[in-house]
Amino acid sequence: MIRRLPDLLIEPVVRMALAEDLGRAGDLTGQACIPEGSRLRAVFAAREAGVLAGVDCVRLALQALDPGATVTMKARDGEAFEAGAVLVEAEADARAFLAAERTALNLLGRMCGIATLTRAYVDAVTGTGARIADTRKTTPGLRSLEKHAVACGGGVNHRFGLDDAILIKDNHVAVCGGVGEAIRRARAAAGHLVKVEIEVDGLDQLDEALAGRPDVVMLDNFSLEMLREAVARAGASSFGRPVLEASGGVRLDTVRAIAETGVDVISVGALTHSARALDVGLDAV
């Protein structure tokens, strides 16, 4: 079951987008062409198949400009749909409806695109035991929505921000003087609920990392052969096996082979930084 995002998290994004579109004087076209008090009934319909995410953006965009708008969801976030499917039915003041149209479509299409791409990655690794995770490579200001869309597609969320967990990257290691020292410092500073992950770029660093007992090891840009060896070494380690995360340049045509090496998680920046917006349109009825 997909958890709904609270309106409190979505509303600021929707209102910012509406304000950007309305500018200094509002919708000049609507004010000029649409008689005051006119009503519009319309549906948000899919032009192509996909996975739904961000449907609440439509409701909040319409009701921000017309609090009396009626919005009926015909599908829920996380559900797959076919081309031609009606996702939302709505009725509102016509001027308000048309002023909110582009914001609603932009956000809905963007989130459905992310959910749909994520579902493709998740389907590609079915049966391997590996999970598909996002990254922090999100659109500034849209992280909560975009990570929600990943969850709608069946993926799992990596950390939301720098305050979620300790993730020691290569530049942290360079400043600390080594993998072992970086983990030691992290362990000394971490609270009992804070996990420690470290990125390694070779098998020599992996051995040093295992000795530090991190919760997660990120295997950055490892070849398939190196990933298999890393899984074997971690499994045989006397220090215990951490969660192994493969990362770096993962593509839809390579993700299955990566999953079959035995890693636990595959993080894919493309889920959010390269997803194509799904084609969704508004049709008057």
Active site residues: 102, 137, 169, 199, 220
Locate 168 and state its tokens.
């020691």
**The residue type at 162:** L
d(CA 91, CA 80): 24
**The residue type at 6:** P
**The residue type at 181:** E
Other beta carbons less than 10 A from residue 202's beta carbon: 14
Q: Which residue has the tokens 């380690």?
A: 237
H-only helix segments in the chain? 7-22, 28-33, 55-65, 94-124, 143-152, 170-176, 179-189, 203-211, 224-236, 255-259, 270-273
Locate 176 and state its tokens.
């600390």
Q: How many residues does the chain have?
A: 285
